[in-house]
Amino acid sequence: MTRIIVIGAGVIGCSVARELAAFDAEVFVFEKGNDVAVGTSKANSGIVHAGFDAHPGSNKAKFNVAGAKLFPALSKELDFPYKNNGAMVLNFSPEGTDKLKELLAQGAENGVEGLRIISGDEARELEPEVSKDVYNALYAPTSGIVGPYEMTIAYAENAAANGVKFCFNRKVDSVVKKPSGGFIVKADGKDYDCDAVVNCAGVHADDVNNTVCRQKEKIIARKGEYMLLDKSYGYLTYCTLFQLPTAMGKGVLVSPTVHGNIIVGPTADDVPDKDNTDTTVDGLNKAFKLASVSVPALTKRMIITQFSGIRAHSEKNDFTIGESDTEGLFNALGIESPGLTSAPAVAKYLSGLIAEKYNLEKNPSFNPKREGIKQFSSMTDKEREEIIRKNPLYGKVVCRCEVVTEGEIVDAIHRVPGAVDLDGLKRRTRAGMGRCQAGFCTPRLMEILARETGRKMTEISKKGTGSELLVGKTKGEKL
Residues that bind other proteins (CB under 8 A): 227-228, 232, 277-281, 283-284, 300-301, 303-307, 381, 384-385, 388-389, 392-397, 400-401, 403, 405, 435-440, 442-443, 447, 457-458, 461-477
| Min separation Cβ 276 and other proteins, Å | 8
Nearest by Cα to 164 from 173, 155, 152: 155
Q: Catalytic annotation on 313?
A: no
Identity of the residue, 101 or 300, whose beta carbon is nearer to other proteins in the bound complex: 300
* CB closer to other proteins, 63 vs 394: 394
Residue 416's region, left for phi above 0, alpha for psi from -120 to 50, else beta, is beta
Q: Which helix (H) or strand (E) holds 215?
A: none
User: Dihedral of CA 204/205/208/211: which sign?
Assistant: negative
Indicate the SS3 state at residue 58.
Answer: coil
397-399 and 404-405: which strand pairing? antiparallel
Cis peptide leading into residue 94 (ω within 30°)? no
Could you write out the DSSP letters of every residue in 155-185?
HHHHHHHTTPEEE-S--EEEEEE-TTSSEEE
Min separation Cβ 404 and other proteins, Å = 11
Which of these is catalytic: 49, 204, 259, 313?
49
| Torsional class of 111: left (φ above 0), alpha (ψ -120 to 50), beta (otherwise) | left
**In the complex, what is the shortest distance from the CB of residue 437 to other proteins, in angstroms, rounded to a whole number?**
4
Burial (CB count within 10 angstroms: exposed 0-12, middle 13-18, buried 19+), residue 76: exposed
Q: What is the smallest separation between the CB atom of 302 and other proteins, expressed in angstroms?
A: 9
CB 308 within 8 A of CB 279: yes
Number of residues in the chain: 479
Instruction: Provide, rounded to whole angstroms, the least separation between the CB of residue 385 and other proteins.
Output: 5
**Nearest distance in Å: CB 200, other proteins:** 23
Strands lying side by side in the sheet with 165-167: 165-167, 26-30, 3-7, 196-199, 329-333, 320-323
Q: Which is nearer to other proteins, 120 or 256 (CB)?
A: 256
Query: Beta-carbon neighbour count of residue 266 at 10 Å?
Result: 25
Instruction: Name which of 390 and 414 has its Cβ closer to other proteins.
Output: 390
We find the least distance from the C-beta atom of residue 157 to other proteins, in angstroms, to be: 25
Please say whether the beta carbons of 91 and 146 come within 8 A: no
CB of 233 to other proteins, least distance (A): 12
What separation, in Å, do the N-terminal and C-terminal C-alpha atoms of the chain show? 46
Ramachandran angles phi, psi of 125, nearest 5°: -65, -40
Say if CB 431 and CB 399 are below 8 A apart. yes
Q: Collapsing DSSP states into helix, strand and coil, what is residue 119?
A: strand
The residues assigned a catalytic role are 49
